[in-house]
Amino acid sequence: MSNKPENLTLITDDGLRLDGRRADEIRPMKIEVGVLSRADGSCYLEWGRNKILVGVFGPREAHPRRSQRADSAVIRYRYNMASFSVEDRARPGPSRRSIEISKVSREAFEPVIMAELFPKTAIDIFVEVLQADAGTRTAAINASSIALADAGIPMKGLITSCAFGKVDGKIVLDLNKEEDNYGEADFPVAMTQDGEITLIQMDGNLTPDEIKQGLELVKKGCKEILEIQQAVLRKKFETPVEEVSEET
């Protein structure tokens, strides 16, 4: 978030944003499932200009052994930005930012992954941001949810994620790059299918009323994303009736 150039208007008088969206609209999302043959589960997701690839491995024996837990699987989440994913080359290797995003994203999944079924194992979620355009942590969580389901990891439900923010004094859903750069606040959220919040972060300043208004928008955004996620998984896993009858 930086100082906005004086002549830059992010929202027009008739309520349209620079990319033509209204305040309550998310960017177009496209999801492909099962794109990596060596991973147990995988997903490629585009959201606006973000491009994210996720590979899930496990449950598999956790190494090193001292990392194992006798009563459950350990969940590991690694968020990484490709050096070519941003305008100024991203320095390879972990940064404060990527370590923080990995931690909060892992925590966003812990309430739904049934880790207790797989003692002494590890479930690894590897996120590669190929192209970043604001909202990569939320995009990566949406993709990870699909990759985990693709890997057959037992979960109580999917996790869905979306941010709201404040731009030109207005509360809007799913910030694009200009809004992220020059907006007044960014507020990423992740939630379960039942609307229980598993990640909440805030950059900038918001009043309690603005947060309330933003959370309503995020609920709407997450509902739309959940429908996209469910449609993709249904398509992948549903068995055509003809195939079943042919085999029997």
Which residues in this chain contact ligand CDP in the complex, by CB under 6 A? 86-87, 90, 97, 132-137, 177, 180, 186
Nearest distance from C-beta of residue 59 to ligand CDP, angstroms:
27
Considering the complex, state which of residue 136 and residue 160 has its C-beta at the smaller distance from ligand CDP. 136
Nearest distance from C-beta of residue 102 to ligand CDP, angstroms:
12
Nearest distance from C-beta of residue 246 to ligand CDP, angstroms:
46
How far lies 24's CA from each of 162, 199, 227, 230, in Å?
Answer: 12, 20, 16, 21
CA-derived radius of gyration, the chain:
19
Considering the complex, state which of residue 153 and residue 175 has its C-beta at the smaller distance from ligand CDP. 175
Listed residue (130, 125, 146) closest to 35, CA to CA: 146
3-state secondary structure of 35: coil
Nearest distance from C-beta of residue 5 to ligand CDP, angstroms:
17
Considering the complex, state which of residue 180 and residue 210 has its C-beta at the smaller distance from ligand CDP. 180
Nearest distance from C-beta of residue 14 to ligand CDP, angstroms:
27
Considering the complex, state which of residue 124 and residue 133 has its C-beta at the smaller distance from ligand CDP. 133
Considering the complex, state which of residue 72 and residue 136 has its C-beta at the smaller distance from ligand CDP. 136
Strands 121-131 and 74-81, by their bridges, are: parallel
Taking each helix axis from N to C end, the angle separating 96-109 and 136-150, rounded to the nearest 10 degrees, works out to 50
Considering the complex, state which of residue 40 and residue 186 has its C-beta at the smaller distance from ligand CDP. 186
Pair 124, 168: CB distance under 8 Å? no
Nearest distance from C-beta of residue 243 to ligand CDP, angstroms:
41
Report the alpha-carbon distance of residue 167 to residue 162 in Å, rounded. 16
Report the alpha-carbon distance of residue 18 to residue 220 in Å, rounded. 21
Listed residue (52, 53, 50, 47) closest to 29, CA to CA: 47
